[in-house]
Structure 1
Amino acid sequence: MRAILVSLLAILMPGLAWAGVVWRGDFETGNTSQYTRAQLVSADRLQVVSSPVYQGRYALKATVKQGDDPINSSGNRNELVYQGYEKEGSEYYYRWQVLFPQDYPSVKTWQVFTQWHHDGCCGSPPVEFFVYGEEIRLTLTDSVTPWKTALVRGQWQDFILHVKWSSDPAVGFIELWHNGQRVLSRYAHATMYAGDGIYLKLGLYRSDTVLPMGVVYHDGFVQGTRLEDVLPPVTQPPPDAGTPDAGAPDAGTPVPGPDAGSGEPDAETPPIVPTSPLPDTGATPPTLEEEPPRVGCSSAGGPLWMVGLLGLGGLLRRARRR
């Protein structure tokens, strides 16, 4: 019976840790070791820097020049790759921040800064964020673009993406928050190609027709199974902080999100999800000259676990009777 107990715990214990942060790619290691591998032509194209940053001490500076083609493929790129846990039917929240410097090139073609690529050899990524001219766009399979917004330079852009990964458009969906505002309610669409896996690519990948050098900064990437996993922790006031003004909103308390089971779009303006405040970059956003040298679906836990152990107890009792 001990062998049965060990086997049952081996099955149930992973569920206890399933809810929570799955992975961090926030560069707080001071390097790119959180990622699986890099696709780059030289070390200066993907640098971990200490300024500018959105959170913590470090961020990634990704640089692409015309002709950068480390994998002998279409376009020019320098990207980090992370082989994640996305499988058919899995569901995750992702949060990360991106900053486009004031001299970021404006070109009427694609410049991808974050993408979830498929294992297959060909075709556009199932989920990708890219700059086109003066717009930021989110595009899915079949070249569907459910969201776009104006490109803003010199300010950190905060994204939270909620994805149900599936090749079935009746199952898969996405949901998006931008700078603390939900800008896309649950949008049903295929988020994978049938039979393919998914992996993250972060950096800059663009058409080889773009001439000027491009630089983009990434920070704070985190993947979790719940919305609260990717939000900043609630900060408790110090003991002598006194009683807060009853009329002032509590900026550190998460606002309840929409009913996750409804799947219905909002008829009114979507609610704001609490995020870290955007840093005050001042009148003059960070420039390349200012940058210093390089440094460096739910939980299966409680109820299922308890039921499993109770059932095991019954097995043990019956075994003793025999």
Structure 2
Amino acid sequence: MKRFLRLAPFALLLPAVASASVVWKGDFETGNTSQWDREQSVSSSRLQVVSSPVRQGRYALKSIVRQGDDPINASGNRNELLYLSHEPSGSEYFYKWSTLFPSSFPRSSKWQIFTQWHHTGLNGSPPLEFYIVDDQMRLRAGGSSGKIVYTAPLKRGQWNDFVMHVKWSSDPKVGFVELYHNGKLAMPKVKVATQFSGQRNYLKLGLYRDASIAPEGVVFHDGFTVATKLEDVMPPVVATPAPAPTPTPEPTTPATGTPAPVVTAPGEAPASEQPAPIAQTPSVPGDGSPGTGGIIPEDPMLAGMTPAAGCGASSTGGTPLLVAAALAVVALLGRRKQAPAPVRARRSRMPRR
């Protein structure tokens, strides 16, 4: 029985854990890249976890690529992190992340990939990739001969918040992609093949670009989260407050349009000279205000002490207390004057010695 009671709190947590829709986070809040499975970089300095700029939390990823960075002896230059998600065919997920392109990000007519879901095969373009060409963001599905399903102008110096909803399938009648950009639905569901037949995908995040691009490229990524429900990756919509009511104008006289005069009672000061009303709140026992004894219930040294009702004198209760005190003094003096008489009577009956 004791063992069951010790385990009971953990049993209560099981339903919450089982129903959670967040399946993985790569948001760098560990202060390093340990959430990710591996990296492809020429140096640890090319994939830095930084504290500024960040989109959420305390940390973000800074990915740097210079011409000649080729850690895996393949085409192009890259420094990327990998998460071996290996989504099975028919699975459906929401992916959330944010990417910042600083003002120094180079413009080029060549491709620059910043997020991709690569296939388990070794060759060819991935079935789903986000990249930049000529200052235009593009989302393409189906590899090099696939379909560009979304485009948007590149805006430097500000965070791009992405939420992508994907159903993974090599069947274009089953698979789809849906995209939210900066909190708004940017692309409704598009039916398209999101996998190559017989293969699975894995995530790559960082920067991968054509080898002919010479200037240094830098991008920042933050907050990567994978979930099975939209509400766990999309911020709630904040309701717009209702507008303030329009104040009622002062009454005016029909003839001149000037404010109507304010009538005061005989002997009363004009309204402009009268003091403003003072907002008053009732004293609550224990709130430390006058009339309660100054006791604060939260103070453990005063626990259990409650001030007696009416223990404090108010501006209207002081006079009755003084009258009662005076009557008590008079009564006491009267008793003291009466006391000697009986004593003298007892002494007169006592025999003399």
TM-score normalised according to structure 1 size: 0.68
Shift in Å, 1:85: 4.7
Q: Confirm or deny: 8 A CA contact 1:112 1:129 kept in the other structure.
A: yes
- For residue 246 of structure 1, report the CA deviation from its aligned partner: 5.8
In structure 2, distance between residues paired with 1:41 and 1:96 = 24
Q: Would the alpha carbon gap of residues 146 and 246 (structure 1) be closer, same or farther in structure 2, given more than 3 Å must change?
A: closer
* CA spacing shift, 1:18–1:69, aligned 2, 3 Å: farther
Answer yes or no: is the 8 Å Cα contact 1:18–1:225 preserved in 2: no
Show the counterpart of 2:155.
Answer: 152
Whole-angstrom distance in 1 between the partners of 2:241 and 2:110: 50
Q: Is 1:175 matched up with 2:170?
A: no
| C-alpha distance in structure 1 between counterparts of 2:78 and 2:59, whole Å | 22
Q: Residue 17 of structure 1: SS of its match in structure 2?
A: helix
Residue 49 (structure 1) aligned with residue 44 (structure 2): no
Structure 1 residue 143 displacement after superposition: 2.5
Aligned-pair CA distance for 1:232: 3.8
Cα distance in 2 for partners of 1:206, 1:146 equals 20
C-alpha deviation, 1:133, in angstroms: 1.1
Matched, 1:28 2:23: no
Structure 1 segments, 4+ long, off by >4 Å, are 13-16
Q: Hey, what does 1:258 align to over in structure 2?
A: none
Match of 1:17 in 2: 18
- C-alpha spacing 1:135/1:31, structure 2 compared with 1 (3 Å): same
Structure 1 unpaired stretches of 5+: 1-12, 236-243, 249-322
Larger Rg: 2
Query: Do 2:86 and 2:200's aligned partners in 1 also have CA atoms closer than 8 Å?
Result: no
Match of 2:206 in 1: 203
Q: Deviations over 1:39-62 (max 9, x none)?
A: 000011000000000000000000
Structure 1 residues 14 and 171: CA distance shift in structure 2, 3 A: farther
Q: 2:242 pairs with 243, 247, 253, which one?
A: 247
Q: Output aligned runs, 1:48-127, within 5 Å.
A: 48-127=49-128
Structure 1 Cα separation of the partners of residues 233 and 188 of structure 2: 18
- How many residue pairs match? The answer is 228
Deviation at 1:233, TM superposition (A): 6.8
Secondary structure of 2:196's match? coil
Change (3 A) 1:60 1:74: same
Q: Residues 68 and 183 of structure 1: is their aligned pair in 2 closer, same or farther, counting only changes over 3 Å? A: same
Report the CA distance between 1:226 and its aligned residue.
0.8
SS at match of 1:44: helix
1:188 corresponds to: 191
Distance in 1, Cα, partners of 2:237 & 2:16: 25
Checking the alignment, whether the CA contact within 8 Å between 1:46 and 1:62 is kept in structure 2 is yes
Cα distance in structure 1, aligned partners of 2:15 and 2:151: 38
Q: After superposition, give the CA deviation of every residue in 1:184-241 in whole Å (9 maximum; x if it has no partner).
A: 1010000000111110000000000101000000000000001012124799xxxxxx
Listed one character per residue, the Cα deviations across residues 90-130 of structure 1 (whole Å, up to 9, x for unaligned) are 00000100000001000001000000000011111111001
TM-score (norm 2): 0.62
Percent identical across equivalent pairs?
57
- Distance in 2 (alpha carbons) for counterparts of 1:172 and 1:18: 25
**Separation in structure 2 between the aligned mates of residue 119 and residue 245 of structure 1, nearest angstrom:** 46
Measure, in 1, the Cα distance between the counterparts of 2:192 and 2:16: 28
Q: What is the rounded CA distance, in whole Å, between the counterparts of 2:123 and 2:216 in structure 1?
A: 26
Structure 1 pair 172–245 and aligned structure 2 pair: CA distance change class (3 A):
closer
Cα distance in 2 for residues equivalent to 1:14 and 1:173: 31
Map Cα deviations across residues 27-46 of structure 1 (whole Å, 9 max, x no partner): 00000000000000001100
The CA distance in 2 between the partners of 1:246 and 1:220, in whole Å, is 29
Distance in 2 (CA, whole Å) between partners of 1:227 and 1:245 is: 22
1 or 2 for the larger relative contact order (CA 8 Å, sep ≥6)?
A: 1
Paired with 2:231 and 2:241, the residues of 1 have a C-alpha distance of: 25
SS state at 1:131 partner: strand
Distance 2:93 2:20 in 1: 10
Q: Counterpart amino acid of 1:34?
A: Q
> 1:245 Cα shift?
8.5
Contact kept in structure 2, 1:19 and 1:226, CA below 8 Å: no
The change in CA–CA distance for 1:246 and 1:43 in structure 2 (over 3 A counts) is: closer
Q: Secondary structure at 2:45's aligned position in 1?
A: helix
